[in-house]
Amino acid sequence: MRSATSPGRSPVPAILLSILVGGVLAFALAYVMAPDGSEPLVTGSVLLGFGLGWALIAWLTTRFSGQSQQWLYVPAASLGGVGALLAVLQPAPSFMDLLGWVWPVALAVLAIWMFPRLRRELRGFGRWLVGALTAVLLLMAVAGAAMTVAAAWASQRAGQGQVVDIGGRRLYLECTGSGSPAVILQAGAGGDSTAWQRIEPTIAAKTTVCAYDRAGRGRSDEAPALQDGNAIARDLHDLLTKAGIPGPYVLVGHSSGGPYLRVYAATYPADVAGMVLLDPQPATAFTALPDYPSIYHYLKLSGGLAPSLARIGLLGPIFGVGPTEATAALARSYRDEIRMLPTALDQATRVTSIGDVPLIIVSAGSGSQRGWAEAQDAQIGLSTNSAHRTLPNATHDSLLDADSAQSAQAILDVVAAVRDGAPVR
């Protein structure tokens, strides 16, 4: 009778089982850790899962096949050890960025070391299985190096605006046009000043218009802590003050920018001459929109995974993010913004009136989730001098793109109402 370690027993079942166990464990840990965990915790947990998978290949092939692969304890210890250190120590984002210059080289060296041993130690289909996994490690190293270089290049991009020191941190502000009232543009969650490129020229022809990057977005420095609606309002107020942009302003917000501006209007009412909200996210989203709690869970999960995916170049392909937006720093900013969104929305719900400040709400009539239209209607009561315009064929995103002309017109209508003292309609 042939023994369990007989040379004739194939290692393929052991390898397949190990790949399955390691993969399932890595994805399970990522799913559990991502919604609230830091990038080192998420990445470290995944590496631990993969490290266990490599260790299982080494142990199972030694115990149950005739092709012992004990040398695979090296990648198991390397990946698992690094994963454990990251998960336990949870280094700061700056250290993770520094590691971006180191780990791709180390991983490439490990993969290159593995190839000749794989050819020497493993035969048959098992060699192709483990070889494919090793090739994935090498591809991750190459992609990680490319992303580190791309992120460094992106951080050096110069804009046409200015970087303003607001007290130990810098925020990017881009203003064009002339005249008053100045129009201040607030992008939605994950957005930055580039979101307004289709709208800005039209507004600049009539008055001053300014777009900016919130902390951690675009060319702005990261904030030292998570930012709620109050912190975002304070940053914007300090930015406009330091940059010498005189108020009061016409505030324009798209999507989640709407709740942010509600908080701003309540905190600095003297700064607000008018307001335009483009398909604004309802402050009551968690209760007014039946599907939003599950949508938010997905956003929080994907946001938690985003920095780790960005490190290996998968953020763009998986979520359709452009190359300049697929960096780990921007992914961290988006993750943190999503995590603080419930707090910001709660703060916005406390703002029930902005008096008789001219207000126009432009809503998208297509592609909205259940309850969105009704929640849009409810926001019109923020001002006693308001109008609601619904564009039947517009979508949430097209208000800044294909339907940007109607959005720009609403902004100019509020500018005119402020100048003339006339009601909006």
Q: Which residues pair with 173 in a beta bridge?
A: 162, 212
Sheet with 170-176, edge to edge strand ranges: 162-165, 170-176, 209-212, 183-186, 249-254, 272-278, 359-364, 386-391
- E runs forming strands in 150-194: 162-165, 170-176, 183-186
Percentage, residues of the chain above pLDDT 70 = 97
Contact 235, 211 (CB under 8 A): no
Q: What is the pLDDT of residues 39-63, one digit of tens each?
A: 999 999 999 999 999 999 999 999 8
Res. 158 pLDDT band, cuts 50 70 90: low
* Per-residue model confidence (pLDDT) at position 27: 94
Judge whether residue 107 has pLDDT over 90.
Answer: yes
Name the more confident of 26 and 65: 26
* Per-residue model confidence (pLDDT) at position 5: 44
Judge whether residue 333 has pLDDT over 70.
Answer: yes
What is the identity of the amino acid at 161? Answer: G
* Per-residue model confidence (pLDDT) at position 321: 78
Cis peptide before 248 (omega within 30 of 0): yes
Res. 325 pLDDT band, cuts 50 70 90: confident
Judge whether residue 83 has pLDDT over 50.
Answer: yes
What is the identity of the amino acid at 133? Answer: L
Q: DSSP state, 210?
A: E
Res. 150 pLDDT band, cuts 50 70 90: confident
* Per-residue model confidence (pLDDT) at position 2: 39
What domains can you pick out in the chain, each with its CATH number?
A: 12-155 (no CATH), 165-420 (3.40.50.1820)
Q: Which residues pair with 360 in a beta bridge?
A: 276, 387
Q: Mean pLDDT over residues 366-393, rounded?
A: 94
Q: What is the pLDDT of residues 160-199, one digit of tens each?
A: 899 999 999 999 999 999 999 999 999 999 999 999 999 9
Q: What is the pLDDT of residues 270-313, one digit of tens each?
A: 999 999 999 999 999 999 999 999 999 999 999 999 999 999 99
